A = this chain, B = another copy of it.
Amino acid sequence: MTKEEILIIDDEPQIRKLLEINLESNGYKVTQASDASMGIKLAASHPPDLILLDIGLPDMNGLDALKELRTWYNHSIIILSVIDNEESIVFALDNGASDYVTKPFRVNELLARIRSCLHRNKSIEHNTILIFDNIQVDLIARAVKNNDELIKLTTTEYKLLVLFAQNEGRVLTHQYILKEIWGVGYQNDTQYLRVFVGTLRKKIERNPNKPKHIITESGVGYRFN
């Protein structure tokens, strides 16, 4: 099971340290940014599973950062703030914040809220095992079987397969896939996608030359069946 990644955007080093220690000891992978623009860049180049966003940032109002992130970032964003102000809370929640926690926060409560958010994202697809003909994807175990035989996928191949599997029957554009897997800024690197679709097909298709699962929609993207 790969570690879930959490991005901390906060300007106070001691808060970041506190969070880092607690999150890492709970099995999360942590990345950090000390201001909004750096945080947004990090999130864009490598989308984390959850973002902890401080409101009092030096370069930008955290609520504006929230709005900007929400134009493309779909996972959870928890707001951390010293401001225990109803207006601010309502604004944040109405603009896509997954939760709003006031500082000083209780560490175990925050961890529970993080678990809750991450759980939510995961349980969008209720089924933990997705089955498509000869292919089984076990989201919990992060295991993929082809005709009951466990097959080995790299992280990128796995992410790609899960993205496909959760969007069965739907055409996903190159741009969308690239954004989801590689992050914003990679939308034009279509060749990455071709290479990885190629390797994935070799591993999951009965006949990779005549793919039945990953169908190319020329000029648009791919469709998973």
What is the interface of chain A, defined by CB distance below 8 A to chain B? 86-87, 89-90, 93-94, 97-99, 106, 108-109, 111-113, 115-116, 120, 124, 140-143, 152, 154-155, 169-171, 217-220, 223
Contact = CB atoms under 8 A, between A and B. Distances in A.
A142 B115 contact: no
A94 B140 CA distance: 17
A218 B154 contact: yes
Main secondary structure of the interface of A (DSSP, over half): mixed
Given A93-B115, A142-B217, A169-B143, A108 B120 contact: no
Contacts of A106: 86, 89
A112 B141 contact: no
Nearest to A90: B112
Contacts of A94: 112, 115-116
Given A142-B223, A143-B170, 8 more contacts: A86-B108, A90-B108, A93-B113, A120-B120, A141-B171, A143-B169, A143-B223, A152-B217
A220 B112 contact: no
Nearest to A217: B142
A141 B217 CA distance: 12
A142 B220 contact: yes
